[in-house]
């Protein structure tokens, strides 16, 4: 007897080997949906009354999270923690401008961001001991990282990515397959659009397995602008969508947004029926981990194919042209717009990665050509996309229930190096993050760096604290324990909720 979705079912007639193989064939035509199996918790816990503490009021305030990760790390000094009175070799060549958030000047390349910071909270005192590209450290509960782990996405020491852990917890609460997956990543598979190094770790299922990887989209569009990039003896001179891309750009999920030509709806329904029979007798099969995983992959694949909602949300051509324009003509802006459409459609966690493109060492990793890249490639796109996202969510009444987080794995060195075009190197002793909505305060600065943005001067915050706050706002106890491959219970993350950032 197997209990499925709350009801008991028994199959008496059994299944033939042919039937089992036909159900197994649900992975037809390279259907790459083995990353998706988790489900949105539609019964999130609500906040307590007005007389309760901020911690109680904020628990479960967010229905969804848009997580923006700026790979390579922006300079805190040119973003939201400038130091205009520091020596030139620290403050750099750019000026500062006021923002609508009292007490928070921003770099001069962020005029649009300045107009919406009164709806955000700026965290100026993130810190940790790992000045490497530890995306996995910043976005998972793993207690430590090294370069070997950074360059090995399937290293068994990795813990599950934030979105993967949310999907896992939600699946335990309500084991059903939604029309829109709960854990989606844009704009393309992480670390897949550059050459020069091996893939990087970060947004994967970790010890939960590849079944809990995010559903990665693919970008469909034409890059329209360029900025020459160099890495040692390599050079990239092609167009870069992060600088500009065609107006008709959109995102797709390979093989998930349409049926293969040979797959009729009758055949699909037939396979769904066989799958339901297999589920009814899966108890004896559950002794085999690979069988459990395959069944989950197939269920998720069917769920996505049966609903057009995912494809519609990713097709930005359906959006009002004026709204598209408000996000800017770049890959980052279009990714932010797609993220808004996905959370409207029901996605639980949507991650937007500003990733390397063309060559390794790109993205926000500005060891050289810092100012040319900041002026042309990086800041304009972030500035336009962030304003578009925050203003659009707020105008639609979605900001209060959607947590938006813009962060990275570390910051940049306070002192400029002597590279051509100047450069700032890795610096994890203090860096900044901006959050908005979903139970966070509007118009607040939390934490403080010293006069050179080199050390924390007040309220040191770990990226684990940020993750704990994100879980909390989604209605998930950050200290909830899940089992690792050895059967040992591990907390989602060891960190404290940043109460200073809560509404």
Tens digits of pLDDT across the chain (503 residues): 322 223 333 333 343 333 333 333 333 222 233 333 333 333 333 333 455 798 999 999 999 999 999 999 999 999 999 999 999 999 999 999 999 999 999 999 999 999 999 999 999 999 999 999 999 999 999 999 999 999 999 999 999 999 999 999 999 888 777 889 999 999 999 999 988 767 899 999 999 999 999 999 999 999 999 998 887 778 888 999 999 999 999 999 875 444 444 544 455 455 445 444 444 444 444 444 444 444 455 556 555 555 689 999 999 999 999 999 999 999 999 999 999 999 999 999 999 999 999 988 899 999 999 999 999 999 999 999 999 999 999 999 999 999 999 999 999 999 999 998 899 999 999 999 999 999 999 999 999 999 999 999 999 999 999 999 999 999 999 999 999 888 999 999 999 999 999 99
CB-CB neighbours of 58 under 10 Å: 25
Answer whether residue 115 is part of any domain: yes
pTM above 0.85, yes or no: no
Pick the closest to residue 256 from 27, 29, 31, 30 (CA basis).
31
pLDDT at site 254: 77
Q: How far apart are CA 295 and CA 125, in angstroms?
A: 45
pLDDT at site 255: 59
Answer whether residue 417 is part of any domain: yes
Answer whether residue 140 is part of any domain: yes
Find the length of the chain: 503
pLDDT at site 306: 53
Cβ pair 402, 67 in contact under 8 A: no
Answer whether residue 13 is part of any domain: no
Answer whether residue 445 is part of any domain: yes
Cβ pair 371, 226 in contact under 8 A: no
Q: How many domains does the chain have?
A: 1
pLDDT at site 234: 83
pLDDT at site 6: 30
In CATH, what number is assigned to the domain containing residue 66?
3.40.720
Answer whether residue 6 is part of any domain: no
Answer whether residue 17 is part of any domain: no
pLDDT at site 9: 33
In the DSSP assignment, the letter for residue 224 is -
pLDDT at site 30: 28
Range of the domain at 310: 22-501
Residue 187 preceded by cis peptide, ω within 30: yes
Answer whether residue 257 is part of any domain: yes
pLDDT at site 21: 33
Q: Give strand ranges (E) for 196-325.
A: 215-216, 218-220, 229-231, 234-236, 250-252
CA-to-CA dists, residue 80 to 133, 337, 377, angstroms: 21, 23, 18
pLDDT at site 284: 47
Pick the closest to residue 283 from 273, 292, 274 (CA basis).
292
């Amino acid at each position: 007897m197997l209990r499925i979705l709350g009801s008991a079912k028994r199959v008496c007639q059994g299944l033939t080997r042919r039937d089992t193989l036909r159900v197994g064939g649900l992975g037809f035509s390279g259907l790459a949906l083995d990353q998706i199996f988790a489900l949105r918790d539609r019964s999130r816990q609500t906040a307590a009354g007005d007389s309760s503490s901020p911690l109680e009021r904020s628990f479960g305030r967010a229905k969804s999270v848009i997580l923006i990760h700026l790979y390579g790390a922006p300079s805190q000094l040119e973003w939201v923690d400038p130091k205009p009175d520091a020596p030139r070799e620290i403050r750099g060549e750019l000026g500062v401008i006021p923002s609508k958030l009292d007490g928070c000047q921003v770099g001069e390349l962020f005029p649009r961001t300045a107009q919406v910071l009164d709806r955000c909270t700026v965290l100026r005192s993130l810190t940790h001991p790992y000045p490497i590209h530890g995306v996995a450290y910043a976005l998972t509960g793993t207690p430590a990282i090294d370069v070997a782990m950074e360059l090995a996405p399937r290293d068994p020491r990795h813990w599950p990515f934030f979105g993967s852990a949310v999907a896992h917890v939600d699946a335990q609460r309500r084991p059903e397959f939604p029309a829109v997956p709960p854990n989606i990543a844009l704009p393309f598979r992480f670390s897949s659009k550059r050459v020069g190094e091996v893939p990087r770790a970060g947004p994967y299922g970790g010890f939960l397995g590849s079944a809990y990887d995010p559903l990665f989209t693919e970008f469909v569009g034409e890059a329209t602008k360029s900025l020459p990039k160099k890495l040692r003896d390599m050079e990239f001179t092609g167009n870069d969508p992060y600088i500009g891309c065609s107006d008709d750009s959109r995102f797709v999920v390979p093989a998930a947004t349409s049926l293969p030509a040979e797959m009729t709806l009758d055949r699909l329904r037939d396979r769904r029926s066989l799958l339901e029979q297999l589920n009814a007798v899966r108890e004896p099969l559950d002794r085999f981990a690979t069988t459990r995983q395959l069944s989950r992959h197939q269920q998720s694949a069917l769920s996505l194919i049966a609903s057009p909602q995912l494809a519609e949300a990713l097709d930005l051509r359906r959006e009002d042209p004026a709204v598209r324009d408000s996000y800017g003509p770049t890959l980052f802006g279009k990714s932010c717009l797609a993220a808004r459409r996905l959370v409207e459609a029901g996605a639980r966690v949507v991650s937007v990665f500003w990733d390397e493109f063309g060559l390794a060492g790109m993205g926000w990793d500005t060891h050289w050509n810092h100012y040319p890249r900041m002026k042309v490639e990086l800041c304009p796109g972030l500035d336009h996309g962030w304003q578009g996202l925050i203003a659009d969510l707020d105008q639609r009444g979605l900001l209060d229930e959607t947590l938006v987080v813009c962060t990275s794995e570390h910051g940049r060195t306070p002192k400029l190096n002597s590279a051509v075009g100047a450069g700032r190197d890795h610096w994890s002793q203090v860096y900044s993050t901006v959050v908005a909505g979903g139970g966070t305060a509007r118009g607040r600065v939390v934490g403080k760096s010293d006069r050179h943005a080199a050390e924390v001067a007040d309220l040191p915050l770990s990226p684990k604290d940020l993750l704990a706050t994100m879980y909390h706002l989604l209605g998930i106890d950050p200290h909830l324990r899940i089992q690792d491959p050895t059967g040992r219970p591990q907390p989602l993350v060891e960190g404290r909720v940043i109460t200073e950032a809560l509404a």
